[in-house]
């Protein structure tokens, strides 16, 4: 399955999810036995850890369909890059989706840190904030506030992650150039359930 076909499959699944017409709910038991010795996920999802955004449900996909990496703020760190490289090379998945979402808590925490730099955070939380910071710093400096600031910051962070994956891995760069790998950014709406693919649709 090429990148465009994979994208269309995700979009169709999300439409089913929005319409509460999920097809995958009872298929896990049937598929489990066929996946013991092999897997061939058709897409790789780098998503946020938020409990309200499970990629398999949002895209109405079943056991073995998606290779999912979840981390707060859908940030790109070396372990995430390595996981994506592994799946793209080993399983031939040709679509990578960076999936952020509205009202992201990691984005809000980063904005709070920029606005109140004296707030004490654990080293682990700080490591996430520090990766998001460059994406949202200029937006905070514009004086934008509230929901508007969070909305644009979520999208800026998704774009930064897409850009990092496209240009921060020699392996992924080669797969993009020579084997049709596509890296796209998308935002899930907590309010509507819709996934908006808005970045990187053309390499």
Q: How confident is the prediction for the chain on average, in pLDDT?
A: 93
User: Is residue 202 scored above 70 in pLDDT?
Assistant: no
Number of domains in the chain: 1
- CATH code for position 128: 3.40.1050.10
Quick one: average pLDDT of 77-106? 97
Which domain covers residue 189, as residue numbers? 3-199
pTM for the full model?
A: 0.92
User: Is residue 83 scored above 70 in pLDDT?
Assistant: yes
Instruction: Label residue 166 exposed, middle or buried (CB < 10 Å: 0-12, 13-18, 19+).
Output: middle
**Are the C-beta atoms of 164 and 156 separated by less than 8 Å?**
no
Distance between CA atoms of residues 184 and 7, nearest Å? 9
pLDDT tens digit sequence for 108-124? 999 999 998 887 788 99
pLDDT tens digit sequence for 3-14? 999 999 999 999
Q: Which residue has the higher pLDDT, 22 or 67?
A: 67
So what's the pLDDT on residue 203? 46
Helix axes 146-167, 123-141, angle to 10 degrees: 110
User: Is residue 82 scored above 80 in pLDDT?
Assistant: yes
């Amino acid at each position: 399955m090429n990148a465009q076909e994979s994208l269309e499959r995700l979009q169709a699944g999300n439409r089913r999810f929005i319409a509460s017409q999920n097809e995958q709910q009872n298929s896990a038991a049937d598929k489990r036995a066929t996946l013991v010795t092999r897997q061939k996920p058709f897409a790789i999802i780098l998503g946020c850890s938020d409990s309200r955004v499970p990629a398999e449900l949002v895209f109405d996909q079943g056991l073995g369909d998606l290779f999912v990496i979840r981390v707060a703020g859908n940030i790109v760190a070396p372990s995430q890059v390595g996981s994506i490289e592994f799946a793209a090379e080993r399983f031939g998945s040709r679509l990578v989706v960076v999936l952020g979402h509205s009202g992201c808590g990691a984005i809000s925490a980063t904005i709070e840190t920029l606005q109140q730099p004296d707030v004490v955070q654990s080293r682990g939380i700080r490591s996430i904030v520090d990766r998001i910071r460059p994406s949202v710093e200029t937006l905070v400096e514009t004086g934008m506030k509230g929901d508007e600031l969070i909305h644009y910051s979520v999208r800026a962070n998704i774009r930064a992650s897409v850009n990092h994956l496209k240009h921060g891995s020699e392996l992924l760069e080669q797969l993009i150039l020579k084997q049709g790998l596509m890296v796209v950014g998308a935002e899930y709406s907590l309010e509507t359930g819709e996934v908006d693919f808005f970045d990187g649709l053309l390499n």
